[in-house]
Amino acid sequence: MSTRSAELLMAAGLLLLSLGLMWTVLADELHIGWVEGRGPGAGVWPFWLSAGMALASLWTLVRWFRGATPESRNKAPYIDGQSLGLVLISFVALTVMLVLVHIVGTYIATALFLGFYMRFIGKHSWRTTVNTCIGMVLLIYFLFEWQLTKYLPKGATMFEDGFLWIDNFRWQYLM
């Protein structure tokens, strides 16, 4: 896709988003005007600002048709072909990691993600990869779970139960 088409698509998409926002405010039956005795209604802010967003998108569309923005004259690919692969694979890997967080929990998911990225994209040695993964997992556990007392997602019950051992160990021997 060229930058030119991307700009048209983006402006049109954002116009739709703005209209959708305006519609949501109306559908929720929020007041978009002055409420007698109470002041501006709850919908005034989101509705009229979304209307402004819609106008700004229309303005961009007009400028696109007139070729006024540099993007609308740019026929080069929207995402550079050579780096598209890297951007895409990074984003997909990140998404997969977040899905895995729901299933196997934070620690295994982050270790797998970091391991995959370092070993298969970065071509680092197994030694560096494994050491960094272990270090990262320990750092997250220490900083967030221990010091900030956050309960990071542990995934399915099976994995969550496994974690009890570690937490018990910490409470019994390290606190």
Partner 1 sequence: MLDIATLLGAGLLQAFEPLNLMMIFIGCLAGLFIGAMPGLGSVNGVAILLPVTFLVPPTAAIIFLAALYYGAMYGGAVSSITLGIPGASTAVATVFDGRPMAQQGKADQALTAAAVASFIGGTISVILFTLFAPPLAVFALKFGPQEEFALMVLAFATFIGLGGDDIPKTIFSILLGLVMAAVGFDIISGQPRLIFFDFVELQRGIGFLVLAIGIYGIGEMLWTLENSRGKVRIHAVSTTWKSFKKNLSHIREYLPTTALGSALGFFVGTLPAAGATPASLMSYGLAKTFAKDPDSFGKGNVSGVAAPEAANNAASTGSMLPMITLGIPGSPTTAILLGGMIIWGLRPGPLLFTDRPDFVWGLIGSMYVANFVTVALNLALIPLFVRVLAMPFTILTPIIFILCFVGVFATTDRMFDVWLMLILGLGGYLMRKLNYPVAPAVLAIVLGPLAEQSLRQSLISSRGDVMTFFERPISLTCMLLALALMIYPIWLGIRRRRAGAARGPE
Cα–Cα distance measured from residue 23 to residue 27, given in angstroms and rounded to the nearest whole number: 6
100 makes contact with partner 1 (CB under 8 A): no
Residue from 32, 71, 105, 154 touching partner 1 (CB under 8 A): that is 71
| Residue among 63 and 172 whose Cβ is closer to partner 1 | 63
Q: CB–CB of 54/22 below 8 Å?
A: yes
Shortest Cβ 37–partner 1 spacing (Å)? 10
Positions in 29-58 near partner 1 (CB under 8 A)? 30, 34, 38-46, 49-50, 52-53, 56-57
Please report how close the Cβ of residue 86 comes to partner 1 at its closest, in angstroms: 5
Helix (H), strand (E) at residue 18: helix 3-27
Which ranges of 31-155 would DSSP assign to H, the alpha helix? 44-66, 81-104, 106-116, 126-140
Q: Using the rule CB under 8 A, is 82 a contact of partner 1?
A: yes
| One of 92, 134, 138, 151 touching partner 1 (CB under 8 A) | 151
153 is a contact residue toward partner 1 (CB under 8 A): yes
The correct pick among 80, 138, 160, 169 for binding partner 1 (CB under 8 A) is 80
Closest approach of Cβ 166 to partner 1, in Å? 17
- Nearest-5° Cα angle at 66, 69 to 13: 65
Note whether 66 and 10 are within 8 A (CB).
no
d(CA 142, CA 174): 12
Contact 71, 79 (CB under 8 A): no
Q: Which two tokens stand for residue 84?
A: 């598209």
Cα distance between residue 14 and residue 53, in whole Å: 8
Give me the residues that bind partner 1 (CB under 8 A), please.
3, 6-7, 10, 14, 21, 24-25, 28, 30, 34, 38-46, 49-50, 52-53, 56-57, 59-60, 63, 69-71, 78-80, 82-84, 86-87, 90-91, 93-95, 97-98, 101-102, 106, 110, 113-114, 117-118, 121-124, 132, 136, 140, 143-144, 147-148, 150-153
